[in-house]
Amino acid sequence: MADGAPGMADSLAGTEFAFSSQDFDQIRTLLRQHTGISLSDAKRSMVYSRLARRLRATGRSSFSAYLEGLRTSAPEWEFFVNALTTNLTYFYRESHHFPILADYLKRKAAERGGQTLQLWCAAASTGEEAWTLAMTAAEAFNSLAPPVRILATDLDTQVLATARQGLYRRDQLAKIPEAQIRRYFCEESEGQYRVRPELRALVGFRQLNLLDPAWAVHGPLDAVFCRNVLIYFDRATQLKVVERMASLMPAGALLFVGHSENFSQGQQNFVLQGRTVYARCSG
Ligand SMILES: C[S@@+](CC[C@H](N)C(=O)[O-])C[C@H]1O[C@@H](n2cnc3c(N)ncnc32)[C@H](O)[C@@H]1O
């Protein structure tokens, strides 16, 4: 700004609401403190466009008024967090993980005499990953009632609502083999497919913030999928989350992470077992 008002000099030009560096920094700080998500400078216009919708919805005329209101509104806090998460996911994403999971589940079930195996899908987004785990288990045991239970959690309540429905358009099923679509989905209406009830019985969805000091998750967990979420956290937070997961996992349990999430250094609880798959060490 010509008057050199602090923080206004680099407002996004030509936008409906003024958006200063201070506004952006305040949003980043709030989000990082509560969710662990670190936003780079490059996310500034994304933050603007996602939150401008919330300003309109709440009738606020500026970011500072919106942020002031946020401090005292728990419902708006949920909208704020939901607006700023990145939820990209799809069925059989990073597909090299699933044959490893299938072999592991069969081996573990044999060792345990068929006892139910516990899986945690820790950033489930709209559900595709959790349903992929359920299909993998059903295929591994050639049964719609495999000895597996899946806890699927996410911070974002809106994506969880979609996940719980288990309802997807035909194009969203593109990565699933045709025979599996027939086995595990029912066509509910034109182009809309719902996960079969037998598979839905295997998965429970629940909101969980990985940054919360207490997790309502009970070990021992046989496998944890924590994929493409740690990437949003700084290194110290990543290591803390992974360490807490380790405390819920017995020796030999598997941790699956995303393609750019690497834990070979900085922690002693896991040993690399395959591409982005780690096994819990003993001790
Ligand atoms: C890019 S999606 C990854 C989805 C899936 N795991 C996959 O790999 O396809 C990241 C998910 O992490 C969730 N997330 C971000 N921060 C979180 C936190 N602190 N606790 C729990 N979930 C979080 C987001 O809401 C989002 O749905």
Give residue limits of the domains in the chain: 21-84, 97-280
Question: How would you list the strands of the sheet with 270-274, edge to edge?
Answer: 203-207, 148-154, 117-121, 223-226, 254-257, 277-280, 270-274
Question: What CATH architecture applies to the domain 97-280?
Answer: 3-Layer(aba) Sandwich (3.40)
CA 175 from chain center: how many Å?
Answer: 19
Question: Whose alpha carbon is nearest atom 3 of ligand 1?
Answer: 228
Is 234 assigned a catalytic role? Answer: no
- Nearest CA-CA partner of 125 in 258, 216, 24, 241: 258
Q: Are 173 and 91 in contact (CB under 8 A)?
A: yes
Is 50 assigned a catalytic role? Answer: yes
Tokens of 166: 């288990």
Question: Whose alpha carbon is nearest atom 23 of ligand 1?
Answer: 155
Q: Write out residues with Cβ below 6 Å of ligand 1.
A: 35-37, 85-89, 93, 123, 125, 129, 154-156, 159, 209-211, 227-229, 232, 258
Q: Which of 162, 164, 168, 229 to mutate to test the pocket of ligand 1 (most atoms within 8 A of CB)?
A: 229
The pLDDT, as a whole number, for residue 9 is 40
From the alpha carbon of 93, which atom of ligand 1 is closest? 9
CATH class of 21-84: mainly alpha
- Give 155 Cα–ligand 1 centroid separation in angstroms: 7
- Give 156 Cα–ligand 1 centroid separation in angstroms: 8
Catalytic pick among 23, 154, 156, 222: 154
The pLDDT, as a whole number, for residue 262 is 84
- Give 200 Cα–ligand 1 centroid separation in angstroms: 21
The pLDDT, as a whole number, for residue 11 is 58
The pLDDT, as a whole number, for residue 216 is 94
The pLDDT, as a whole number, for residue 203 is 98
On the CB side of 160, CA atoms within 13 Å amount to 19
Torsion angles phi and psi, residue 160, rounded to 5: -65, -35
From the alpha carbon of 209, which atom of ligand 1 is closest? 20
From the alpha carbon of 159, which atom of ligand 1 is closest? 27
From the alpha carbon of 36, which atom of ligand 1 is closest? 19
Q: Is the pTM of this model over 0.85?
A: yes
- Give 93 Cα–ligand 1 centroid separation in angstroms: 14
Could you list the pLDDT tens digit for every one of the 283 residues in the chain? 333 333 444 556 678 999 999 999 999 999 999 999 999 999 999 999 999 999 999 999 999 999 999 988 889 999 999 999 999 999 999 999 999 999 999 999 999 998 999 999 999 999 999 999 999 999 999 999 999 999 999 999 999 999 999 999 999 999 999 999 999 999 999 999 999 999 999 999 999 999 999 999 999 999 999 999 999 999 999 999 999 999 999 999 999 999 999 877 778 899 999 999 999 998 6
Any idea what DSSP says for residue 97?
A: H
Q: How far apart are CA 128 and CA 105, in angstroms?
A: 19
What are the Cα distances from residue 23, in Å, to 34, 47, 133, 179? 17, 10, 40, 51
